[in-house]
Amino acid sequence: MNGLMQEKPLLISSLLEHAERYSAKVEVVSRRVEGDVHRYTWADAAKRSRQLAMALDDMDLPAGSRVASIAWNGYRHLELYYGVSGSQRVLHTINPRLHASQVAWVLQHAEDDVVFFDASFVELVRTLQPLVPRIRHWVLLGDQVAVERINDMPAVVSYEGLLAKHSGEYTWPQFDELAASSLCYTSGTTGNPKGALYSHRSTVLHSMVLSTPSALSIGPQDVVMPVVPMFHVNGWGTPYCAAMAGCKLVLPGPALDGQSVYELIEEEGVTLALGVPTVWQMLLDHVDARKGTFSSLKKTTIGGAACSSSMQKHFEDQYGVEVIHAWGMTETSPLGTTSSLMAEHLSLSREEQQQLRLKQGRPVFGIDLRIVDDLGAAQPWNGQNCGHLQVKGHWVISSYFKDDCNQRLDDGWFATGDVATLDANAYLQLTDRSKDVVKSGGEWLSTIDIENIAMSHPAVALAAALGVPHPKWGERPIVVVAKRQGSAVTREELLGLYQGKLEKWQTPDDVVFVDNIPLGATGKMLKTELRKQLVNYVLPGTVESPVR
């Protein structure tokens, strides 16, 4: 027997309709590629998204067609989020930091028919055009004047020109909520990129739970600024949450330097900003240098890489901005865990609370976690035992797009490739990437611990822990360090940092200084590249130890 409730699919267009209907005058503010600040309202965003949907209809793109974007965070990209998905097409957000050949590969793989791109990426598009002849339409996210500036590319049309042809009198189609809505490729450090194909249902459910206090707590009084790019797992879902809450949304465009981000936060009264540690370090450096304060910013969500204790204290103790540490992946939409405290922790000291909140946090409703050993046996939740982290839930992928090998799920669980502990309250702590694991004397070591301790030294810009073969222990860790410009630190000083923090056997045997640690397109360290650089390294006291 079914309930007698109204039947209505969970569609992305309904988020925008909600914002348009009930928060029509609330602003969406964007720093544009052109450099100026653009402001309009959710009502404007809704109308233009409908105009876009009509333009896509005109391009003869059937339901399910893939439409690519190569764009920064801005109002036109927002319109693509709603106009493409809302009209039952699939928005494929592309990371422009990938090499042109990789971009061409994902355009081919996704079978995109159209590419919408910011003026910043004209040169990339010039390279792509001969590589991907299947693309029928190249649309510059600008007006006709901007198109004329690049008049040697005749195949390009202007976004504003397309929209201007349509009234916006359009009703969002109603369809099955399981329909695909957007596509995002992981920039794997090995092998070809793999695509996560989100559905309307998974996206809307993710938005609902992301908005709760168990996660980011986004409400109508917030002013939300995703500094995380909209090509990274849908800007972590915030462009959807903002519409759902009917709150002001601030999009920083390409200007992610400390000064630009800071000015936008202060001028627009941002209360919640989201980003990766690298960008936040630029912001903090800028605010430190000008002895500024944050007058509106209450919270910052940090994900993409672990937040260091020093960054947490910098935001919280110096500037009164609460850090919400979060963990997720492209394959998890991305929300997996957030480091919110439970009621029982409110009596802890601030220091203890901060320590706890440096963990990746607890799973939100809709996500399940477990840790298993190499044989798949569940490991205890005691904060000590490590295991391969597996995840399942409403917004976790079942398989990759056009992936023949359907072996990704282990009894319904997605293997994250992370190694982690869980404690009795289900606080997750990542200790490693599975492929980066160092095993010494039969025990897993945490390379992340080793890296975080090294990075707590002010002279260290970046640190990478690697395993090297050892005749007795099988493997021993070393730490590879890139120093900050103009800073100095010795091997002995760094090794001294580990005393009292890690056991002797968990402490690296050596420190290797390098000029740079190679980074991938999403800012993650490329340890495979690093290992190639260190091919001639020999661990002191051993005969020959090629790093693995």
Single out the residue of 64, 173, 380, 458 in contact with a copy of itself (rule: CB under 8 A): 64
For a copy of itself, what does the binding mask look like between residues 455 and 474, x meaning CB under 8 A?
--------------------
Query: Which of these is catalytic: 20, 79, 268, 331?
Result: 331
Q: CA 226, CA 243: separation in Å to the nearest integer? A: 13
328 to 367, contacts with a copy of itself by CB under 8 A?
333, 340-344, 346, 362-363, 365
| Type and span of the H or E element at 429 | strand 428-433
Torsions phi, psi for 282 (to 5 deg): -65, -40
Check: CB of residue 360 under 8 Å from CB of residue 325.
yes
Single out the residue of 77, 166, 201, 232 in contact with a copy of itself (rule: CB under 8 A): 201
380 to 419, contacts with a copy of itself by CB under 8 A?
392-401, 409, 412, 414
Q: CA 361, CA 346: separation in Å to the nearest integer? A: 15
Check: CB of residue 128 under 8 Å from CB of residue 81.
no
Instruction: Select the span of 148-156, 240-248, 284-292, 524-532 touching a copy of itself (CB under 8 A).
Output: 240-248
Residue 173 binds a copy of itself, judged by CB under 8 A: no
Q: Is 472 a catalytic residue?
A: no
In the complex with a copy of itself, the residue whose CB is nearer, 424 or 543, is 424
Q: CA 190, CA 488: separation in Å to the nearest integer? A: 33
Residue type, 158: S
In the complex with a copy of itself, the residue whose CB is nearer, 315 or 427, is 427
User: Binding residues for a copy of itself, how many (CB under 8 A)?
Assistant: 80
19 to 58, contacts with a copy of itself by CB under 8 A?
21-26
In the complex with a copy of itself, the residue whose CB is nearer, 219 or 523, is 219
Chain-centre distance of CA 359, in angstroms? 17
In the complex with a copy of itself, the residue whose CB is nearer, 4 or 488, is 4
Q: CA 47, CA 508: separation in Å to the nearest integer? A: 58
Distance of closest approach, residue 438 Cβ to a copy of itself, in angstroms = 29
User: Token pair of 134, please?
Assistant: 């299947």
Distance of closest approach, residue 321 Cβ to a copy of itself, in angstroms = 18
Distance of closest approach, residue 314 Cβ to a copy of itself, in angstroms = 24
Sign of the Cα torsion 187, 191, 197, 198 reads negative
Q: Is 252 exposed, middle or buried (0-12, 13-18, 19+ CB in 10 A)?
A: buried
Check: CB of residue 204 under 8 Å from CB of residue 240.
yes
Instruction: Select the span of 143-151, 208-216, 429-437, 510-518 touching a copy of itself (CB under 8 A).
Output: 208-216
Residue 247 binds a copy of itself, judged by CB under 8 A: yes
For a copy of itself, what does the binding mask look like between residues 496 and 515, x meaning CB under 8 A?
--------------------
Q: Is 97 exposed, middle or buried (0-12, 13-18, 19+ CB in 10 A)?
A: middle
Query: Which of these is catalytic: 186, 300, 332, 522?
Result: 186
Single out the residue of 38, 59, 126, 269 in contact with a copy of itself (rule: CB under 8 A): 269
Sign of the Cα torsion 110, 114, 117, 123 reads positive
Q: Is 444 a catalytic residue?
A: yes
86 to 145, contacts with a copy of itself by CB under 8 A?
90
In the complex with a copy of itself, the residue whose CB is nearer, 87 or 452, is 87
User: Token pair of 160, please?
Assistant: 């504003």
In the complex with a copy of itself, the residue whose CB is nearer, 63 or 289, is 63
User: Token pair of 46, please?
Assistant: 């809704």
| Type and span of the H or E element at 147 | helix 144-148
What residues contact residue 326 under an 8 Å CB cut-off, 6+ apart?
215, 216, 236, 301, 302, 303, 335, 336, 337, 338, 339, 360, 361
Instruction: Select the span of 6-14, 75-83, 117-125, 301-309 touching a copy of itself (CB under 8 A).
Output: 6-14
In the complex with a copy of itself, the residue whose CB is nearer, 208 or 534, is 208
Query: Which of these is catalytic: 439, 443, 501, 528?
Result: 439
Active site residues: 186, 331, 439, 444
